[in-house]
């Protein structure tokens, strides 16, 4: 190994080998080794460059074409939204269409193109800033709000101009995706068969993007101090999800080592295969259900391959995030039905739409918030926009005829919410009856992921069929640490005794009221805590499919009666 240099970017050290290979240390989100070419994914429209153009007329035509396309998209969104969420919420798409048709906006863009001989992207960005500033400065609250609409419509045009519309992400061969950051909706649109690994410069290990990578079962690094420019595109690279290293242009020796490590990794996985079909039971006879967390129906194969005993968390919001319009009842029914049928008698817990905070889809038009984790998200969105919620409930109740579906409601904090959910469920059932559509009687449970829900868990347990503890949010709200904030990672400690005691309390409440209690947050797949959870009496653990067999191994080696007391002392 020759010619190593050392330089520092931000707080992180980067070892750099001057001739050839470079290596960068990130934070690993999921282990495994990936070897392949880098695909530098950029939101091209975010940094708009000013470029001179030779033919301003041609550039004007390019803008007009993008403008027409954006208006067409908005018309489609409006039609869809009318059907699924009603006229009041659909109105935003009509307003955006009108703004785009407004002469002042188009005139500003075209004047900039023609007088300065610049590219359409730049003209749109300048117009966006000018108009947004103008609206923001107005006294009238309604007009002030239009500032964010100008941003939205401009963003749409920029996306079209750059050809970077999200639904067009398509890789010809499986690649290692490298990006500054990835939103959950961007990650959701990348299919695991096309992506070998994710590497991001920013991002927290507790974010939904990280969770998605785990659910997809591919190595991923966040906080990797790599400078992303187009020269990296297509370069050979290795991601080591064990140590957190990214190697770009790996030398012969490193590549050889990584291939060996990959073989060992596969061999270890292979060893676990012997646990397939074996019971998940402790040495002293305690049974636990080992289930999988999934983001969509494409993950089902991996659940079955890893012998998942059910699905403990189907994050249905990803169905909404991977598209540009609200999924209709029929579209949702098709997916839920596939999941139910594929899993047969095994239970499938589908969590209702948990959108908001970091999980954003532009077409929902959710307000920008100062404090999104504490904001308009989860059940709050569903209860405020019952049209969206009822469409999903109709699909879920109908799909439950085809298998063992259970419904789970996220972000619960009060009994009042449960009462309202029950009223809406009743309305849905009456409407389905009236429409002559068959439906089942799925079990209905809630996520316990707020301290409020823990504190009233005994009371809540009388109202629902089951609990599933969301340790990701429970940690965030208990410790007052934003799970998205990469600077707070050292303070985000899901193994904190406060969190673990909340889990203990929730399980006790559930059992006192004779309902079962599982864990579907990331802690459910934490091998360090499996024995403790058995001791606390947790009935179900749900985790990324690839973790299931390793956790089964631990469970089969545990004796709760013998080890329980020491574990309580150590952790609580």
The yes or no reply on residue 211 touching ligand PEP (CB under 6 A) is: yes
Interaction between residue 470 and Mg ion (CB under 5 A): yes
294 binds ligand PEP (CB under 6 A): no
CB of 570 to ligand PEP, least distance (A): 23
Q: Which of 141-149, 300-308, 464-472, 527-535 is the region at the interface with ligand PEP (rule: CB under 6 A)?
A: 464-472
Instruction: Identify which of 383, 452, 366 has the alpha carbon closest to the alpha carbon of residue 417.
Output: 383
Query: By CB under 6 A, which span of 118-126, 223-231, 363-371, 470-478 interacts with ligand PEP?
Result: 470-478
Any alpha helices (H) in 163-194, and if so which ranges? Answer: 184-188
For residue 433, give every residue at least 6 positions away whose Cβ sits within 8 Å of its Cβ, in sequence order, or none. none
CB nearer to ligand PEP: give 174 or 310. Answer: 310
Regarding beta strands 466-469 and 443-448, do their DSSP bridges make them parallel or antiparallel, or are they unpaired?
parallel
The 10 Å Cβ neighbour count of residue 371 is 8
Which of 164-172, 366-374, 426-434, 471-479 is the region at the interface with ligand PEP (rule: CB under 6 A)?
471-479
Q: Provide the minimum distance between the beta carbon of 324 and ligand PEP in the complex, in angstroms, as a whole number.
A: 22
**Phi, psi (degrees; rounded to nearest 5) at 467:** -120, 145
Q: Which of 449, 540, 546, 563 binds Mg ion (CB under 5 A)?
A: 449
Closer to ligand PEP at the Cβ: 449 or 563?
A: 449
Interface stretch with Mg ion, choices 74-82, 434-442, 470-478, 510-518 (CB under 5 A): 470-478
> Applying CB under 6 A, which of residues 80, 309, 449, 540 lies at the interface with ligand PEP?
449
Which residue in the set 186, 299, 473, 546 belongs to the binding site for ligand PEP (CB under 6 A)?
Answer: 473
Q: Which is nearer to ligand PEP, 118 or 408 (CB)?
A: 408
CB of 472 to Mg ion, least distance (A): 5
DSSP code per residue over 517-545: EEE-SGGGG-TTTHHHHHHHT--EEEE-G
3-state secondary structure of 245: strand
- Nearest residue to Mg ion by CB is 473
Binding of residue 517 to ligand PEP (CB under 6 A): no
Question: Catalytic residue among 89, 96, 208, 517, which?
Answer: 208
Nearer to ligand PEP, 329 or 526 (CB): 526
358 binds Mg ion (CB under 5 A): no
Task: Give the pair of three-digit tokens for residue 1.
Answer: 């190994």
Question: Distance between CA atoms of 91 and 82, rounded to whole angstroms?
Answer: 8
If the CB atoms of residues 544 and 564 are measured against Mg ion, the closer one turns out to be 544
Distance CA 534, CA 524 (A): 11
Applying CB under 6 A, which of residues 335, 520, 529, 560 lies at the interface with ligand PEP?
520
- Around 56, how many Cα atoms within 13 Å sit in the side-chain half-sphere? 11
Taking CB under 5 A as the binding criterion, the range among 337-345, 379-387, 463-471, 546-554 that sits at the site for Mg ion is 463-471
Reply yes or no on whether 19 is catalytic: no
299 touching ligand PEP, by CB under 6 A? no
Q: Is 482 in the site for ligand PEP (CB under 6 A)?
A: no
**Residue 469 CB partners (closer than 8 Å, separation 6+):** 447, 448, 449, 503, 506, 517, 518, 519, 520, 521
451 Cβ contact list (under 8 Å, min separation 6): 474, 477, 478, 502
**Helical H runs in 273-327?**
300-305, 317-321
Nearest distance from C-beta of residue 524 to ligand PEP, angstroms: 8
Q: Closer CB to ligand PEP, residue 121 or residue 546?
A: 546
Q: Which run of H or E residues covers position 253?
A: helix 252-272
Residue 466 CB partners (closer than 8 Å, separation 6+): 406, 408, 443, 445, 510, 515, 516, 517, 518
Give the strand order in the sheet containing 236-240.
Answer: 4-9, 12-17, 22-25, 245-248, 236-240, 33-41, 175-179, 195-200, 220-222, 27-30
308 to 327: interface string for ligand PEP, x by CB under 6 A? -----x-x------------
- Mark residues 326-365: x for contact with ligand PEP by CB under 6 A, - for none: ----------------------------x-----------
Size of the site for ligand PEP (CB under 6 A): 11
Please pick, among 291, 382, 517, 520, the residue that the annotation labels catalytic.
Answer: 520
Residue burial 438-451, b: 16+ Cβ < 10 Å; e: rest: ebeebbbbbbbbbe
Q: Which stretch binds Mg ion (CB under 5 A): 71-79, 93-101, 444-452, 548-556?
A: 444-452
Q: Is 382 a catalytic residue?
A: no
Could you give the C-alpha distances from 471 to 147, 206, 489, 495, 521, in angstroms and in order?
37, 11, 15, 10, 4
Give the containing element (helix H, strand E) for 208.
Answer: helix 208-216
Q: How far is the CB of 26 from ligand PEP (least distance, A)?
A: 21
Q: Which residues bind ligand PEP (CB under 6 A)?
A: 211, 313, 315, 354, 449, 470-473, 520-521
Q: Which residues bind Mg ion (CB under 5 A)?
A: 449, 470, 473
Give catalytic residues, as residue numbers: 208, 520
């Amino acid at each position: 190994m020759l010619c190593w240099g050392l330089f520092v970017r931000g707080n992180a050290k980067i070892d750099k080998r001057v001739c050839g290979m470079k290596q960068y240390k990130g934070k690993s989100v999921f282990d495994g080794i990936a070897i392949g070419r880098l695909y530098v994914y950029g939101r091209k429209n975010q940094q708009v460059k000013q470029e001179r153009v030779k033919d301003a007329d041609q550039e004007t035509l390019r803008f007009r074409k993008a403008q027409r396309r954006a208006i067409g998209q908005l018309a489609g969104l409006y039609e869809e939204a009318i059907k699924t969420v009603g006229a009041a919420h659909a109105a935003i798409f009509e307003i955006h269409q009108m703004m785009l048709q407004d002469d002042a906006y188009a005139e500003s863009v075209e004047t900039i193109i023609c007088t300065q001989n610049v590219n359409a992207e730049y003209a749109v960005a300048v117009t966006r800033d000018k108009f947004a500033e103008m609206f923001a400065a107005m006294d009238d609250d309604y007009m002030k709000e239009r500032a964010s609409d100008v941003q939205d419509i401009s963003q749409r045009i920029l996306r079209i101009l750059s050809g970077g519309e999200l639904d067009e992400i398509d890789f010809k061969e499986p690649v290692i995706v490298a990006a500054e950051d990835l939103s959950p909706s961007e990650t959701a649109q990348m299919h695991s068969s096309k992506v070998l690994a994710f590497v991001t410069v920013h991002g927290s290990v507790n974010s939904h993007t990280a969770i998605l990578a785990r659910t997809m079962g591919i190595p991923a690094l966040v906080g990797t101090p790599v400078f992303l420019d187009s020269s990296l595109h297509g370069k050979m690279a290795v991601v080591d999800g064990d140590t957190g290293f990214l190697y770009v242009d790996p030398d012969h020796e490193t590549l050889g080592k990584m291939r060996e490590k990959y073989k060992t990794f596969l061999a270890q996985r292979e060893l676990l295969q012997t646990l397939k079909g074996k019971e998940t039971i402790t040495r002293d006879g305690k049974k636990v259900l080992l289930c999988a967390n999934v983001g969509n129906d494409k993950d089902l194969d991996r659940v079955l391959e890893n012998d998942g005993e059910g699905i403990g968390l189907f994050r249905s919001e990803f169905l909404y995030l991977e598209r540009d319009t609200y999924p209709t009842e029929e579209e949702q029914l098709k997916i839920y039905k596939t999941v139910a049928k594929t899993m047969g008698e095994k239970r499938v817990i589908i969590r209702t739409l948990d959108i908001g905070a970091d999980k954003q889809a532009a077409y929902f038009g959710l307000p920008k918030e100062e404090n999104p984790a504490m904001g308009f998200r989860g059940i709050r969105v569903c209860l405020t926009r019952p049209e969206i919620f009822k469409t999903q409930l109709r699909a879920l109740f109908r799909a439950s005829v085809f298998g063992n579906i259970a419904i789970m409601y996220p972000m619960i904090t009060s009994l009042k919410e449960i009462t309202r959910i029950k009223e809406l469920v009743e309305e849905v059932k009456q409407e389905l009856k009236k429409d002559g559509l068959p439906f089942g009687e799925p079990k209905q449970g809630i996520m316990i992921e707020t301290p409020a829900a823990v504190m009233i868990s005994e009371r809540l347990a009388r109202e629902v069929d089951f609990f599933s503890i969301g340790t990701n949010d429970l940690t965030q709200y208990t410790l007052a640490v934003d799970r998205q904030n990469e600077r707070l990672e050292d303070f985000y400690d899901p193994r904190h005794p406060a969190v673990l005691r909340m889990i203990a309390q929730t399980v006790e409440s559930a059992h006192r009221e004779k309902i079962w209690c599982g864990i579907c947050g990331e802690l459910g797949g934490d091998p360090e805590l499996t024995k403790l959870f058995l001791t606390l009496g947790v009935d179900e653990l749900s985790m990324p499919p690839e973790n299931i067999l390793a956790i089964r191994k631990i469970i089969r080696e545990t004796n709760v009666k013998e080890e329980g007391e020491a574990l309580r002392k150590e952790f609580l």
